[in-house]
Structures are given as structure tokens and as C-alpha cells.
């Protein structure tokens, strides 16, 4: 019977957690500080993020993961019962957030190129996109995002949870487009999914709209200190980005050589599909100690898919060997 722990290739996190940031935050945090409500820690993190990105501190918002910020943004920017338009397939939380607010998410089919014309013509209250997109890994060009911003003045919420792995982002657009709000996270490239810290970037007026809806002290003192420690030691993030890109270049052609349909990706994961007998295959992989994410058919993409997080070289070799035992 297998006794080693299951390798989590289903969460899109990096394979080496940022224990250095946790240790640094713990060593610098006396118990009487951690026992207090947070206060100066959040202001300090905002200033640090803004300083490196060349923004004003008022252009940064902090949340309990980017999930809290996503929920706040939907509540702040979409009238109750309204709608958001984006692409399909995309992150499953988008329609759930809209439905919780009495609204709906309208997905426009998208393969590689952003459907700017269709998105711009939509009467929705909010444009909601991810770049790179989850689960496809597609990163949209700065030019295509700017063309969309030029076509409509409604708010655009751009989820950049995986932007570090793509090598480009939309932060330069903040200077010219006051309707743009960007979400980022410490859960992916910074290797701290358990501390639940995300941040939003946008004009101060947009940030204030989110913060008016946010409950008090939603992020713990220790989480804020751990995020600051990670931000102040960017070499960890650079190493994880380098590792993910190396493994992406290595694994992608080998999966295709085995016959697996796999989409090009700018993120730290790959989408395989359509995959015959996806459920039994996912179960066999888990029995071998490798958990992947099984996805249902999408309206624009029939058949089931598997989303596979890039692991270490050893983990990716195990995955390739297991997949090699099965027909695509």
C-alpha cells in the first residue's frame, strides 16, 4: 500500500512552499504583537507593494486572499441582479460570485485570442477576465486588453493570480484607465497559499469602493507579516518562476509526444483534453500518489479535461510515466 503523501498537482500552487518567509515572520513577531488586531502591518504591506510597483499607497488594497477581493469587487461594481461578461472557459468562482449577488456571468467562447469586439458589445456591468486564464493558461496581450478598455468605460476586473509566470502584466495600463482593477495573490508564485493574502491594484477611488465593504481585520497579523516577509525577499519568487517556466518547456512537448492534447500555457499549469475516461484516469493517478484536477465539459470545449499543476522535475517525471501507461 502506498504510504507516501499525495503530490497535489490540482491546486496550481508551487511545489516548494515559502517556509523562509514564514520563519522570518515568526521570528520577528513577539506573542503580544500576534495577539493584537492587525493595524500597522497592513499599512506597511500596502506601502511596500506600492513602492516596488511605482504606485501610490492608496492604489493598493489588501484582502483575505484574492477570493475576498473578487467578492468585494463584484458587490461594489455590479448592481444587485446585474451581470459580468468574460470568457469561457474561465475560473469557476466567477459565476458563483455573481450568483451569490443575484446576478449572472456571461461567458464568451475563447481559444487563444481575446474576443475584444464581442466583449465590448456586451451590455454587462463589469468585464471580468483572468490573464493568464484559469484553466487554459492563456495570457492576453497588453494590446488586446487596452483595446477593450478603450472600447468601454465600464469597470474591468483583471485577475492576475498567475501573472508572474507569464512574464508580463497589465500594471502599466493603470496610469491611463481609471476603470481597471487588478487582483494579485501571495498564494501562487510567492508560495504562501495558507496565509490567505491577496492584493488589489487600481485608482484610489476604486480601492475605496472595495474597502468600504470589507469587514474589519479580515487578514490576520501573522498573515500580513508573512506576506511582507515574502515581498521583501523576492528571490524566492524569482526562483519559483524560473522553475515553473523550465518545467513547462520540458513537460509540454513530452506530453504531446505521448499523444495527449495539451494547450499552450503561460501559467504554472497545463490543460489536457479532451480526455477519454477522465474520471478513471484521475482516480488511477491519485492511487499512484498524483492528484490532478478533473474538469467537466465546457460549452465551447466538449469532453472532460484534466488540469495539471507543474511540479518538480521528479514529480513531473512520475506524472509523465503514469500518463504514458494510458491512451489519451
Q: pLDDT tens digits for 143-199?
A: 999 999 999 999 999 999 999 999 999 999 999 999 999 999 999 999 999 999 999
* pLDDT at position 111: 84
Backbone angles phi, psi at 321, to 5 degrees: -65, -45
Closest CA to 184 of 209, 168, 208, 164: 164
Give the chain's mean pLDDT. Answer: 95
Backbone angles phi, psi at 133, to 5 degrees: -80, 140
In a 10 Å sphere around its CB, with 0-12 CB exposed, 13-18 middle and 19+ buried, how is residue 204 labelled? middle
pLDDT digits (tens, 9 = 90+) for 111-151: 889 999 999 999 999 999 999 999 999 999 999 999 999 99
pTM for this entry: 0.96
Could you tell me the domains of the chain?
A: 7-15+235-323 (3.90.1150.10), 20-231 (3.40.640.10)
pLDDT digits (tens, 9 = 90+) for 73-82: 999 999 999 9
* pLDDT at position 3: 56
* pLDDT at position 92: 94
pLDDT digits (tens, 9 = 90+) for 234-292: 999 999 999 999 999 999 999 999 999 999 999 999 999 999 889 999 999 999 999 99
- Give the mean model confidence (pLDDT) for residues 31-47: 93
* pLDDT at position 1: 41
Amino acid at each position: 500500500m502506498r504510504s507516501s503523501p499525495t503530490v497535489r498537482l490540482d491546486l496550481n500552487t508551487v511545489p516548494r512552499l515559502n517556509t523562509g518567509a514564514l520563519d522570518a515572520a515568526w521570528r520577528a513577531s513577539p506573542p503580544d504583537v500576534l495577539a493584537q488586531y492587525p493595524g500597522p502591518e497592513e499599512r506597511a504591506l500596502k506601502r511596500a507593494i506600492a513602492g516596488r510597483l511605482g504606485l501610490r499607497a492608496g492604489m493598493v488594497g489588501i484582502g483575505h486572499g484574492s477570493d475576498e477581493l473578487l467578492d468585494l469587487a463584484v458587490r461594489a461594481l455590479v448592481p444587485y441582479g446585474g451581470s459580468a461578461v468574460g470568457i469561457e472557459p474561465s475560473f469557476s468562482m466567477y459565476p458563483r460570485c455573481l450568483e451569490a449577488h443575484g446576478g449572472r456571468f456571461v461567458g464568451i467562447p475563447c481559444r487563444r485570442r481575446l474576443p475584444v469586439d464581442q466583449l465590448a458589445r456586451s451590455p454587462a456591468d463589469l468585464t471580468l477576465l483572468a490573464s493568464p486564464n484559469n484553466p487554459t493558461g492563456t495570457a492576453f496581450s497588453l494590446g488586446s486588453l487596452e483595446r477593450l478598455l478603450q472600447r468601454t468605460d465600464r469597470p474591468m476586473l483583471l485577475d492576475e493570480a498567475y501573472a508572474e509566470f507569464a512574464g508580463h502584466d497589465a500594471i502599466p495600463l493603470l496610469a491611463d484607465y481609471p476603470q481597471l482593477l487588478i487582483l494579485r495573490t501571495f498564494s501562487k508564485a510567492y508560495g504562501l497559499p495558507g496565509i490567505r493574502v491577496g492584493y488589489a491594484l487600481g485608482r484610489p477611488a476604486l480601492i475605496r469602493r472595495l474597502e468600504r465593504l470589507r469587514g474589519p481585520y479580515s487578514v490576520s497579523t501573522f498573515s500580513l507579516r508573512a506576506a511582507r516577509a515574502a515581498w521583501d525577499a523576492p528571490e524566492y519568487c524569482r526562483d519559483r518562476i524560473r522553475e515553473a517556466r523550465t518545467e513547462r518547456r520540458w513537460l509540454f512537448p513530452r506530453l504531446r509526444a505521448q499523444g495527449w492534447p495539451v494547450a499552450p500555457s503561460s501559467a504554472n499549469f497545463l490543460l489536457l483534453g479532451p480526455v477519454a475516461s477522465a474520471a478513471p484516469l484521475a482516480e488511477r493517478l491519485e492511487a499512484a500518489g498524483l492528484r490532478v484536477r478533473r474538469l467537466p465539459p465546457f460549452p465551447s470545449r466538449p469532453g472532460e479535461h484534466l488540469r495539471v499543476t507543474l511540479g518538480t522535475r521528479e514529480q513531473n517525471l512520475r506524472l509523465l510515466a503514469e500518463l504514458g501507461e494510458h491512451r489519451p
